[in-house]
């Protein structure tokens, strides 16, 4: 059974850091590119970042470049998102999302249940 389970969310003050994790099971994790997508009431769904199947390539949305880092451990079947210098507009539910191939499928075929990040003083 396919599973993506996010963890690590919580309430954090502006300027602080947080690391999210996503544990994968039920499929061969190392065969798929994985994305982070966030959702907040004010802005709907927003793509955040992607990492290639082998971890060699990462891309980010402009507003998080230089602050967020996506990484993966294919031995532990886990994806990470290190978030530094957090801002109020980073608030939202963060989803771990699978792209249905190693690279360049351009869609998202399976989503985790998400973890809530709230940036507030």
Applying CB under 8 A, which residues contact another protein? 35, 37, 43-47, 50, 59-63, 95, 105-114
Residue number with CB closer to another protein (46 or 77): 46
> What minimum distance in Å lies between the beta carbon of 26 and another protein?
15
> What minimum distance in Å lies between the beta carbon of 2 and another protein?
12
Residue 88: helix, strand or coil by DSSP? helix
> What minimum distance in Å lies between the beta carbon of 28 and another protein?
18
Residues 6+ apart with CB under 8 A from 28: none
Residue number with CB closer to another protein (89 or 109): 109
How far apart are the C-alpha atoms of 82 and 66, rounded to whole Å?
11
Strand order in the sheet with 3-7: 3-7, 18-25, 78-83, 68-73
């Amino acid at each position: 059974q396919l599973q993506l389970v996010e963890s690590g969310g919580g309430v954090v003050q502006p300027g602080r850091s947080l690391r999210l994790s996503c544990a994968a099971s039920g499929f061969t994790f190392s065969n798929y590119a994985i994305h982070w997508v966030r959702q907040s009431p004010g802005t709907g769904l927003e793509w955040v970042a992607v990492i290639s199947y082998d971890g060699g390539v990462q891309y980010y949305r402009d507003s998080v470049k230089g602050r967020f880092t996506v990484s993966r451990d294919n031995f532990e079947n886990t994806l990470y998102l290190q978030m530094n210098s957090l801002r109020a507009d980073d608030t939202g539910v963060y989803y771990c999302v699978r792209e249905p191939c190693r690279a360049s499928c351009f869609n998202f075929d399976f989503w985790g249940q998400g973890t809530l990040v709230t940036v507030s003083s």
